[in-house]
Amino acid sequence: MKAEGVTAHTAYGETPLCPKADKERTARIALINPRFNISFWGHDHVMPIVGKRANTPVAALPLLAALTPQPHTVTLIDENVESLDYESLACMDIVGVTGMSVQRARMKEILRELKKHGCFTVVGGPWVTVQEDYFGELADVIFVGEAETTWPAFLMDWQEHQWDRRYEQQAKSDMTRVPTPRFDLLQMDKYLYASLQISRGCPFTCEFCDIIVTFGRLPRLKTSAQVLAELESLRRVNVDHVFIVDDNLIGNKQAIKSVLRDVIQYQEHHGYPFTFFTEATLDLAEDDELMQLMAKANIEAIFIGIETPNEDALKETKKHQNVRPNAGSMLERIRRIQQAGIEVTCGMIMGFDHDDSGIFQAQRQFIADAHIPHAMVGMLNAIPKTPLHDRLTKEGRLDPADESEFGTNVIPLNLSRAELRNGYINVMHEIYDPTAFFERLEALNLEGHLTHGRLGIDQHEIRHPWMRVRHQAMHTVIAIVLAYRLFSHVKEKGLRLEYVRRVWRALTAGIGPRFMTNYLYNCAMHYHYYKLAQGLRAGRLANTF
């Protein structure tokens, strides 16, 4: 079934001739998501083990396809799962490229090649939104910010031969009018997770964050009906793991509670077909009802911007939601979330003005004390249009180079650039040393810091024992296959033996098949972090901000 408003086009790479646009100016459109460099989020070294090509599809491509009116045709191309065919792209009337800051170099390469082939190019996404002049004449048209109204408006202008160079919405998108993305135009079987967006916007004012630049401070949500329609669309393409890509799912706590209650009913009715992962802020720990609803909806893990154990640095960057003595320390609040049955992963940043050489040990110790296996650690970067970028520009503390040997454009106040870079690399090596990583993982899962049995699917299985038996059998098979792939893929003998030892320890602890599947996946994730840390030490820091 095709959604109303767009005609699917699936002949990418197979059309030998280039048909011209017809007299009604029907456009053949290709939308491209460039490949990522190896990164924390990409799970690149995990993909061969789990038999996937990429972690998560970018949310923009299927949404833009849904926003494209008939009779235009749309091809979605994710370079993370398939190669680009420039000869076929030259047959398109419009070629769009989107991307984040870490994709900007690859975006430029693609646009240069498209121009060589005479393509009409349009560019949107997070990076061009904050750095509008970055692509120069390589982009015929740029889209700044959201595009729910500007994309259809541009296509109407294109039909009339009178498009503008720049499009920006005058008002933020009404999320209650956003259509269901065209997931059917993506190769969903190539991805580890599907992507789902429920809300945009965040009420907080973190100095370094570009989210409020793009989406604003007023959280806007889809209706429950929209969310359930998207879940049904994902269920039809056999998806079971979903990343809710909201930058802060709980920006409007009362509104998201209503949506979560409806998601819980959907999960119950369909036998819990989905497991979710999302992003939220630490003030989640201050709302017991919200944590319970998230667990019942089967949100098994959340990513939280902890940033730093240095409270002076948190105040400096206006991360006030992390400094609330009346709500407890950050460690106490993390443990509250873990006790609710939700695993915490986190983002950590080094290089704030209040950081000195002691920050590196402080970061290591905090991550260990919090029992967080998965920590995305990075150096502070100043994104254009953010308050941080404006302040450091005035202070003359920004590196103007697009790519830096130091991996950041920020010139620190109390550290040399080399100290910051080297300290960051050492922290990455130390927290992803096998012993350090598995101590955190085992403390979380084998020593009781994460309370198991609180997720919605656990309660559902208690009420439906036959489903528990079926799931156990399924996860037993998955665990066996995953173990074989893991031990076959990891060539470093010492590391492979360490994984065998850790898996045996988990088995003798009496964990169930579903948990064993998750434990083996954590081993694969460690391998990714291990390889990532090796790459950092080898000097692969360029274009990380």
One-letter amino acid at 338 equals Q
C-alpha to C-alpha distance for 253 and 492, rounded to whole angstroms: 46
For the chain, give every domain's residue range: 7-168, 193-445
C-alpha to C-alpha distance for 427 and 417, rounded to whole angstroms: 15
Name the residue among 260, 270, 269, 272 with its Cα closest to residue 222. Answer: 260
C-alpha to C-alpha distance for 491 and 340, rounded to whole angstroms: 38
Pairing of strands 199-200, 220-221: antiparallel
The upper half-sphere exposure of residue 527, i.e. CA atoms within 13 Å in the direction of its Cβ, equals 28
User: What torsion, rounded to 10 degrees, do the Cα atoms 208, 211, 215, 218 define?
Assistant: -80
pLDDT at 12: 55
C-alpha to C-alpha distance for 251 and 168, rounded to whole angstroms: 24
In CATH, 193-445 is 3.20.20.70:
yes
On whether the CB atoms of residues 324 and 377 are closer than 8 A, the answer is: no
- pTM for this prediction: 0.94
On whether the CB atoms of residues 175 and 222 are closer than 8 A, the answer is: yes
Helices then strands (H, E): number in the chain?
Answer: 20, 15
Model confidence over 305-343: pLDDT tens digits?
999 999 999 999 999 999 999 999 999 999 999 999 999
Other Cβ atoms closer than 10 A to 347: 15
Q: Would the CATH topology of 7-168 be identical to that of 193-445?
A: no
**7-168 has which fold?**
Rossmann fold (3.40.50)
Instruction: Give the pLDDT of the chain (545 residues) as one tens digit per residue.
Output: 333 334 444 445 444 457 655 546 899 999 999 999 988 888 999 999 999 999 999 999 999 999 999 999 999 999 999 999 999 999 999 999 999 999 999 999 999 999 999 999 999 999 999 999 999 999 999 999 999 999 999 999 999 999 999 999 999 999 999 999 999 999 999 999 999 999 999 999 999 999 999 999 999 999 999 999 999 999 999 999 999 999 999 999 999 999 999 999 999 999 999 999 999 999 999 999 999 999 999 999 999 999 999 999 999 999 999 999 999 999 999 999 999 999 999 999 999 999 999 999 999 999 999 999 999 999 999 999 999 999 999 999 999 999 899 999 999 999 999 999 999 999 999 999 999 999 999 999 999 899 999 999 999 999 999 999 999 999 999 999 999 999 999 999 999 999 999 999 999 998 889 999 999 999 999 999 999 999 998 876 644 44
Peptide bond into 71 cis (omega under 30): yes
